[in-house]
Amino acid sequence: MDKKQVPDIVVARLPIYLQTLKMLEKEGEYTTSSKDLGKRIGISAAQIRKDLSHFGEFGKQGTGYSISYLIEQLESILQVNGVWNMALVGVGFLGHAIANFKGFANHGFQIKCVFDADPQKIGSKVGEFTILDSAKMEEIIRSEKIKVAMITVDAIHAQAVAELLVKSGVKAILNYAPVTLNLPKDIRIQYIDPIIELQHMTYYFQD
């Protein structure tokens, strides 16, 4: 499979399928169909079948999908059947919440180290982590071979932090700062900005 030939919008839906399948498994279900999945997610059965067809054949007509098998296959496709170590940069209110979040490990990720530039925070604890000095970020990230990072600093510092992460060998960044990052094309960036999402929703309000 040539990953470049799979549309990114298809890849973006795979974690949604995986999350829904894991919910079904917790509910005690063993099999499902594209129709049932579509009802839960709000996507047509035809779209689900088309999306999955990019990666192979995972079900049989009339019997549907084995939930455990499809979970296994999607985890392999998304490369979350192991555990990716992550760096967290910025320990404000949001950084504190993320550092204390316990849900990453069950989905293929774990925070390995937490950084901040504030001398008053460096050396103190957040959750189970000791806050490290951002000045040592490149050295530590390289030694730990970390490829994934989350940025929760303010907008004015986000670009500089992102550039240092890339220099350190990070290949994927989840950016919570309300700013668009200018990075090399081979770096994967995802943005989480609640203001943009709220403005997206309010467009649909009736006058």
- Given a cut of 90, whether residue 102 has pLDDT beyond it is no
Its pTM stands at: 0.86
DSSP H stretches of helix in 101-154: 137-144
pLDDT category, 1, cuts 50, 70, 90? low
The three-state secondary structure class of 7 is coil
Q: Which of residues 7 and 57 earns the better pLDDT score?
A: 7
Distance CA 92, CA 60 (A): 49
Distance of CA 64 to the CA centre of its chain: 28
- For residue 106, give both structure tokens: 């069950």
Interval 106-152: pLDDT, tens: 889 999 999 999 999 999 999 999 999 999 999 999 999 999 999 99
Which pLDDT value is given to residue 105? 81
In the block, tokens 């510092």 appear at 157
- Ordered DSSP codes for 173-197: EEE-SSS-----TTSEEEE--HHHH
- The residue written with tokens 């499979």 in the block is 1
State pLDDT tens for residues 34-44: 999 999 999 99
> In the predicted model, what is the mean pLDDT of the chain?
92
Domains of the chain, with CATH numbers?
Answer: 3-77 (1.10.10.10), 84-196 (3.40.50.720)
Average pLDDT over residues 156-185: 96
Give the helix/strand (H/E) hosting 201: helix 194-202
What whole-number percentage of the chain has pLDDT above 70? Answer: 96
